[in-house]
Amino acid sequence: MELNAHSGCHQQIVTIDDIFFSYENKTVIDGLSFSVLERDFVGIVGSNGAGKTTLLKMIVGLLKPTRGEIRMFGQPLSTFRDWDRIGYVPQKNALNPLFPATVREVVTSGLYNKKTLLRRLSPSQRSKADDALYAMRIEDLADRRIGQLSGGQQQRVFLARALVNNPELLILDEPTVGIDAETQAGFFRMIRHMHEHHHIAFMMVSHDLDMVRSYLGPEPEHQSRGLGFYVKHTHAPENCRETDLSHSRQQLRETAEAWS
């Protein structure tokens, strides 16, 4: 059933309409249709090479489907410009320890776009960055160089960067790779808390099937050529997502606490 992209509480955030993708002669995505509604949590699983990262890259516009169309908030990707509404944390790459940016600089870089690149940050933007550092419990790392942090700490920094614009959709590509089991558990508690309390939709690639099933249910809602999509729909209250996305200090404190 094709839902109206603007129908109140169940607005489609991402609409994937019969897309195909090939690298040279190798077909990776083959006629995939799927949609993510406001406040859904979608866990994407599949074996190595099944096309999970390729799919996320298409959704954020880094790759173009060979055929078919992706729409964001009802708008074709080719004309979509509202990227502030989406946070994306790519698959972890080891950062060069000499990479000179500090944690605060990396987080605030999420606030810049083409229009604001040359402007100074306003006080309210600075306080957004402080909030994101606080929620990810990395305030005390703010002046450290990111390249000198552990993998788990770097992941928190990239999450804070993705969160700084209060996105409506957060796209995470294997966010806990290389992170110890205890930190992973804290990470998932925090993600879950954000989903339940901050009204953000998630698309998350994960190899942790136990975690995916425990939160999203035992069976995938949709399967396509080696990819499984586990989904938790969250029925929005009367007003759908609150229009004021600036999180209260209390909400941020609870998110910070969910780590432990």
Q: Which residues bind ligand ATP (CB under 6 A)?
A: 23, 28, 46, 48-54
Residue 14: its H or E element: strand 12-23
Q: Which is nearer to ligand ATP, 129 or 172 (CB)?
A: 172
- Write down the least CB distance from residue 91 to ligand ATP, Å: 6
CB of 56 to ligand ATP, least distance (A): 8
CA-nearest of 85, 74, 132, 93 to 113 is: 85
Q: What is the closest distance, in whole angstroms, from the C-beta atom of residue 186 to ligand ATP in the complex?
A: 23
User: At which residue do the structure tokens 């990262």 appear?
Assistant: 53
Strand partners, 102: 145
Give 51 or 220: the residue with its C-beta nearer to ligand ATP: 51
Q: ∠ at Cα 187 (50, 168), nearest 5°? A: 75
- Which residue, 30 or 139, is less far from ligand ATP as judged by CB? 30
Q: Could you tell me how many residues make up the chain?
A: 260
Residues 247 and 255: their CA atoms lie apart, in Å, by 10
Residues 6+ apart with CB under 8 A from 139: 130, 133
Which of residues 44 and 170 has its CB atom nearest to ligand ATP in the complex?
A: 44
Residue of 59, 15, 6, 36 whose CA lies nearest to 240: 6
- Closer to ligand ATP by CB, 52 or 104: give it: 52
- Closer to ligand ATP by CB, 12 or 53: give it: 53
DSSP symbol at 146? G
Closest contact distance (angstroms) between CB of 30 and ligand ATP is: 12
Minimum Å gap between C-beta 49 and ligand ATP is 4
Q: Cα 14 to chain center, whole Å?
A: 12
Q: How far is Cα 231 from Cα 42, in angstroms, rounded to an integer?
A: 5
CB of 177 to ligand ATP, least distance (A): 9
- Alpha helix locations (H) across 144-180? 151-163
